[in-house]
């Protein structure tokens, strides 16, 4: 009897097992990709408060874990720039750089590859115009990318019409640069990207507890539409995950 073809998901898992892997580009001696995409010299850059300057209330770890929920309803209150800086530090902050070889951050990554770039849709953050920004992790700064006033509407539509995306303070958009990972791990590196996305987003959930914010991870989005909005090619760079963040509204706190 002819065996039925594997489903897409099962084929992905099968073809990324070790028995299918060939030598990685690292093993072949090919040069390592850069630790961060270079900033655009023609776009504004905004300094963020440094981690050492952030006065964040302590939160018991057990309390943070017990309170972790997905929150889709937010107070009409902006995040501060310090709130945003803290959340960026907790999700991609760099603690140490090893030359041009690796960064050691506040979140784990397979082989310290850290294959993500963090983009932000700013809806309501004190001191920032609405629009799309990018976090420059190596220097702990923001770069303005796009101030199209319809951007939040287009992103909500590309996320299958989820309206709370337009009503939060900020949307974290994690962009994968897969070659940073596959350079070392070959095709199996694509598995690691998805694991790393979970690590980053969980850090966001827990860190948000300290600054009175709620978070909702979003995996339902039209990949092609989102990549087009973010000017990504969908292969060398693509959106892998996103999450909304906003100040908690005790009266309408809907969690799951």
**Tokens coding 124:** 């309501």
Q: Is the pTM of this model over 0.85?
A: yes
Host domain of residue 120:
8-34+45-252
239 occurs within a structural domain: yes
What pLDDT, on the 0 to 100 scale, is given for residue 65? 94
1 occurs within a structural domain: no
Alpha-helical runs (H) found in the chain: 8-15, 61-67, 81-92, 151-158, 164-167, 179-185, 189-208, 223-229
Count of beta carbons in the 10 Å neighbourhood of residue 148: 13
Q: Write out pLDDT tens, residues 50-61.
A: 999 999 989 999
Where on the phi/psi map is residue 222: left (φ > 0), alpha (ψ -120 to 50), or beta? beta
pLDDT band with cut points at 50, 70 and 90 for residue 5: confident
In angstroms, the CA 166 to CA 130 distance is 11
14 occurs within a structural domain: yes
**Cβ–Cβ < 8 Å for 240, 193:** yes
What percent of the chain is modeled with pLDDT above 70? Answer: 97
| Total tally of structural domains belonging to the chain | 1
Q: Write out pLDDT tens, residues 174-226.
A: 999 999 999 999 999 999 999 999 999 999 999 999 999 999 999 999 999 99
138 occurs within a structural domain: yes
168 occurs within a structural domain: yes
118 occurs within a structural domain: yes
22 occurs within a structural domain: yes
Q: What CATH number does the domain containing 206 carry?
A: 3.40.109.10
40 occurs within a structural domain: no
What pLDDT, on the 0 to 100 scale, is given for residue 252? 60
Count of beta carbons in the 10 Å neighbourhood of residue 5: 8
Compute the mean pLDDT over every residue in the chain, rounded to the nearest whole number.
95
Q: Write out pLDDT tens, residues 127-180.
A: 999 999 999 999 999 999 999 999 999 999 999 999 999 999 999 999 999 999
């Amino acid at each position: 009897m002819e065996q039925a073809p594997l489903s897409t998901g099962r084929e992905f898992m099968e073809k990324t097992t070790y028995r299918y892997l060939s030598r990685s580009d690292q093993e072949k001696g090919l040069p390592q990709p850069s630790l961060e995409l270079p900033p655009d010299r023609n776009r504004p850059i905004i300094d963020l408060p440094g981690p050492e300057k952030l006065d964040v209330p302590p939160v018991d770890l057990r309390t943070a874990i017990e309170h972790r929920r997905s929150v889709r309803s937010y107070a009409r209150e902006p995040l501060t720039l310090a709130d945003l800086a803290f959340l960026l530090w907790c999700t991609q902050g760099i603690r140490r750089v090893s030359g041009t070889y690796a960064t050691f951050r506040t979140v784990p990554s397979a082989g310290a590859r850290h294959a993500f770039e963090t983009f932000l849709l700013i809806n309501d953050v004190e001191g920032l115009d609405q629009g799309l920004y990018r976090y420059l992790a190596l220097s702990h700064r923001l770069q303005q990318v796009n101030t199209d006033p319809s951007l939040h509407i287009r992103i909500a539509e590309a996320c299958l019409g989820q309206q709370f995306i337009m009503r939060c303070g900020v949307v974290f958009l994690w962009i994968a640069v897969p070659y940073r990972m596959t350079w070392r791990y070959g095709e199996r590196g694509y598995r690691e990207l998805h694991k790393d996305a979970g690590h980053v987003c969980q850090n966001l959930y827990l860190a948000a507890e300290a600054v009175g914010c709620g978070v909702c991870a979003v995996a339902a989005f039209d990949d092609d539409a989102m990549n087009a909005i973010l000017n990504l090619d969908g292969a060398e760079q693509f959106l892998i995950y996103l999450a909304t963040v906003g100040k908690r509204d005790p009266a309408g706190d809907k969690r799951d």
